[in-house]
Amino acid sequence: MKKKGRLILAVLLPLQIVFIMFLAGYSQLVETWYSQFFYPKISMLMRFGHGFLPFSLGDVLYIFFGIFLIRWLIKRFKQKFRKPGDWMLDALAVLSIIYACFHIFWGFNYYRLPLHQSLEIGYEYTTEELYELSEILISDSNKLHTNLAENDSAKVNIPYSKNELFEKTIAGYSNLSKTYPELTYRGESLKRSLFSIPLSYMGFNGYLNPLTGEAQVNTQIVPYKIPTTASHEVGHQLGFAKENEANFIACLNTMNHPDAYFRYSGYTFALRYCLNELYRRDPEKFETLKKEIKPGVLANYMEVDEFWLAHQNPFEPLFKMFYNRFLIVNNQAGGMKSYSYVVALLVNYFSEEKNRL
């Protein structure tokens, strides 16, 4: 690319940043014109374009980008970073292109209306409401456990292969779309991440590749977690960029799934969020409810914890720190702590469902 072209791209980078800061104040505009109109079309086009590939195109692109970056750095070191004007211009031009593609293909969804406004439900709740919902989730989780486990103390083992779990995740969205047409999922692109082992040591269940629209799942995690993880990543594909909102969508898909194993994964997933929030608000009530949970349900929680403990390493906190900063920059003021918003959505969703009956 000629120097003039690179200069134009470099200048566009700060202009893009200013534009994004401006757009963040117009959520309704983003919701109407991007999240509900433009994004569904471009995301479906991407998924139909390469969703059929048996491997992750996005991961392959990441590998090539990594190789390119290493070669670029080696070249800079060999030249002892001479002519900074040229190589800084190159770097800014590339960053400008990536920044634009990130937002056009997916990232503008970070600035859409909050999900509770889209669903027209509240987002505030009392500790008593949280306690009541936790009781309901414990009861349903225990009932499902009774039907799926050998005994009260045994954990539930998911009997499906990784591919079957992906197929059932997609089938769940087909079922869910009957009630929520906006969650219709076409052009499936749900794939195993080529970086599953590194992701395990980084502390991540999966991710969405914003440049290809592929939902990537870390298939090294325990099978019990894959239904909610895969559902979460599909939630991202459908335009729910914020982590807490994708978690809520994952709850909807798994808790309403025709398959009992998926419902068990979903109910216990929602329960853990509620119990964590209840412990923060009222430790005594938390201890009271904890006694009602079957040991086998707790065994599934322990199974997940043991997996992450086995993959702990000194670098994991750094990855989490960078990701936390990424969330804050992309309109999630609480960073990873903002995940607790899913509890507010759950409480108010169940309240609305109760009122409909």
Alpha carbons 157 and 165: distance in angstroms, whole number: 13
Judged on CB neighbours under 10 Å (0-12, 13-18, 19+), 284 is exposed
Q: Indicate whether 96 and 171 sit together in one domain.
A: no
The reported pLDDT for the residue numbered 355 is: 61
Number of residues that this document lists for the chain: 357
For the cut 50, the answer to whether the pLDDT of residue 182 exceeds it is yes
Q: Indicate whether 100 and 240 sit together in one domain.
A: no
| Residues above pLDDT 70, as percent of the chain | 91
Residue ranges making up the domain that contains 128: 116-356
Q: Under DSSP, is residue 304 helix (H, G, I), strand (E, B) or coil?
A: helix
93, 111, 129 - which closes a domain: 111
- The mean pLDDT of 44-55, rounded to a whole number, is 90
For the cut 50, the answer to whether the pLDDT of residue 326 exceeds it is no
Quote helix, strand, coil % in the chain, to nearest 5. 70, 5, 25
Alpha helices in 39-126 (DSSP H): 39-50, 57-78, 84-105, 115-118
Classify the C-alpha dihedral 243-245-248-252 as positive or negative.
negative
111, 131, 148 - which closes a domain: 111
The domain tally of the chain equals: 2
Q: Indicate whether 70 and 144 sit together in one domain.
A: no
Q: Indicate whether 160 and 67 sit together in one domain.
A: no
The reported pLDDT for the residue numbered 352 is: 76
Q: What is the pLDDT of residues 139-151, one digit of tens each?
A: 999 999 999 999 9
53, 86, 111 - which closes a domain: 111
- Higher confidence at residue 332 or residue 52? 52
Alpha carbons 74 and 69: distance in angstroms, whole number: 9
Nearest CA to 267 among 283, 281, 251? 251
Q: Indicate whether 163 and 78 sit together in one domain.
A: no
- Higher confidence at residue 249 or residue 323? 249
The reported pLDDT for the residue numbered 81 is: 76
The reported pLDDT for the residue numbered 336 is: 46
The reported pLDDT for the residue numbered 5 is: 82
Q: Indicate whether 253 and 170 sit together in one domain.
A: yes
- The mean pLDDT of 239-257, rounded to a whole number, is 95
For the cut 80, the answer to whether the pLDDT of residue 2 exceeds it is no
For the cut 70, the answer to whether the pLDDT of residue 271 exceeds it is yes
Alpha carbons 31 and 52: distance in angstroms, whole number: 29
Q: Indicate whether 149 and 165 sit together in one domain.
A: yes
Q: Indicate whether 83 and 127 sit together in one domain.
A: no
The band of 335, judged by pLDDT with boundaries at 50, 70 and 90, is very low
- The mean pLDDT of 290-296, rounded to a whole number, is 95
Q: Indicate whether 107 and 130 sit together in one domain.
A: no
Alpha carbons 133 and 270: distance in angstroms, whole number: 10
Q: Indicate whether 143 and 235 sit together in one domain.
A: yes
| Residues above pLDDT 90, as percent of the chain | 69
For the cut 60, the answer to whether the pLDDT of residue 181 exceeds it is yes
The band of 171, judged by pLDDT with boundaries at 50, 70 and 90, is very high
Degrees, nearest 5: CA angle 125-226-148: 85
- The mean pLDDT of 94-110, rounded to a whole number, is 94
Average pLDDT along the chain: 89
The reported pLDDT for the residue numbered 221 is: 95
Alpha carbons 205 and 197: distance in angstroms, whole number: 10
**32-46, 215-229, 302-316: least confident range:** 302-316
Judged on CB neighbours under 10 Å (0-12, 13-18, 19+), 280 is exposed
**136-145, 163-172, 277-286, 291-300: least confident range:** 277-286
The reported pLDDT for the residue numbered 191 is: 95
The band of 107, judged by pLDDT with boundaries at 50, 70 and 90, is very high
Q: Indicate whether 173 and 307 sit together in one domain.
A: yes
Q: Indicate whether 82 and 183 sit together in one domain.
A: no
The reported pLDDT for the residue numbered 86 is: 76
Place of tokens 């903002």: 338
